[in-house]
Amino acid sequence: MKKILFVFAPLLVLSCTKETAPPPVTTADFAVNKTTVYILDSVKVNAADTSGNLAYTYDFGDGNTTTGRNAITHFYERGGWYTITLNIDGKTAFRQVRVLPGILSYQIKNLSGRRLDVLSYIDNFEAGNLYRKEYNPGTMSDTLYSSYAPSFSPDAIHLFGASVFINNTEYALKDITWIKEKKHSIMAITDSTKVVPRFGFTVNPNFYYIKDL
C-alpha cells in the first residue's frame, strides 16, 4: 500500500487595507473671488467643503458644466448676468456673477470750458468700438466698453484714441495714452489738452490747446 505524504504549509493570511470613505459633505456653499468681471477675466470658485469629495458639479450658467474638485476657474466669453450652481451629494448652492460687455471700460470727462464733440476708441478706430457724443463742460460720459481682442497678459495695456470736432475740423489728441485691460479708467479732456489736426498734418505737426481753438 502506498503511503500518501501530506505536507502542511503555514497558512498565508492576506491583510486588506480598508479604504476610508471621505467624510460626509455638510454644505454646498461656495465663494467666488469676483462678482463683477470683464469678458475673459478669470472667475475662481471655491467650495466651502474641502473634504476631498470629487463630485463637485458646477453649472456656470453659460452652457458650460464641469465635475471636479472643490476649487475651479472659469472664463466667460459674453457679457451678461450668470448664475453659478454647485451640486454636491444632493446639496445645492447658487451665486450670481455679472460679466461686463468688454475687456475694459472707460469714461470721457470734459474738464474744459467748452462744449466738446468727442469721438473715442480703443486700439484701432477701424476695428474697435467707436463712440461719439457731445459733452457740456463738467460732464462725463456713460461707461464705455471695448470688445477689441484681449491680450491675455496680466499687465496688458491698450491704446486709447480720441478726437474732438471743433468748427467742422477734427483734432486728434496729440499725446499717446494707454489704459489697462480689465480696469476702468476716467479719461479727462481739459483746456490744456494738446491736439493736432486729424488730416493733412506732417510727421511733427504743430499742436493746439483745446482752449485756443
Task: Provide the mean pLDDT of the chain.
Answer: 87
Question: In angstroms, rounded to a whole number, what is the distance separating the alpha carbons of residues 204 and 81?
Answer: 47
pLDDT tens-digit map of 11-52: 444 445 556 666 677 889 999 999 999 999 999 999 998 877
* Cβ neighbours, 10 Å, residue 68: 11
- Looking at the structure, tell me whether residues 183 and 108 fall in a common domain: yes
Residue type, 120: S
- Looking at the structure, tell me whether residues 44 and 110 fall in a common domain: no
- Looking at the structure, tell me whether residues 168 and 109 fall in a common domain: yes
The pTM score is 0.81
Domain boundary among 100, 123, 152: 100
Tell me if residue 126 falls in helix, strand or coil. coil
Q: Is residue 16 part of a domain?
A: no
> Domain of 179?
104-212
Domain boundary among 67, 85, 100: 100
pLDDT score at 153: 74
- Looking at the structure, tell me whether residues 140 and 91 fall in a common domain: no
Domain boundary among 40, 75, 100: 100
pLDDT score at 21: 65
CA dihedral sign of residues 128, 129, 132, 138: negative
**Average confidence (pLDDT) over 56-65:** 95
Give percent of the chain above pLDDT 70: 85
Instruction: Report whether pLDDT(152) > 90.
Output: no
Question: In angstroms, rounded to a whole number, what is the distance separating the alpha carbons of residues 68 and 50?
Answer: 12
Which tops the pLDDT comparison, 4 or 88?
88
Question: In angstroms, rounded to a whole number, what is the distance separating the alpha carbons of residues 78 and 76?
Answer: 6
**Average confidence (pLDDT) over 116-127:** 89
pLDDT score at 13: 45
Question: In angstroms, rounded to a whole number, what is the distance separating the alpha carbons of residues 69 and 56?
Answer: 6
- Looking at the structure, tell me whether residues 39 and 130 fall in a common domain: no
Residue type, 30: F
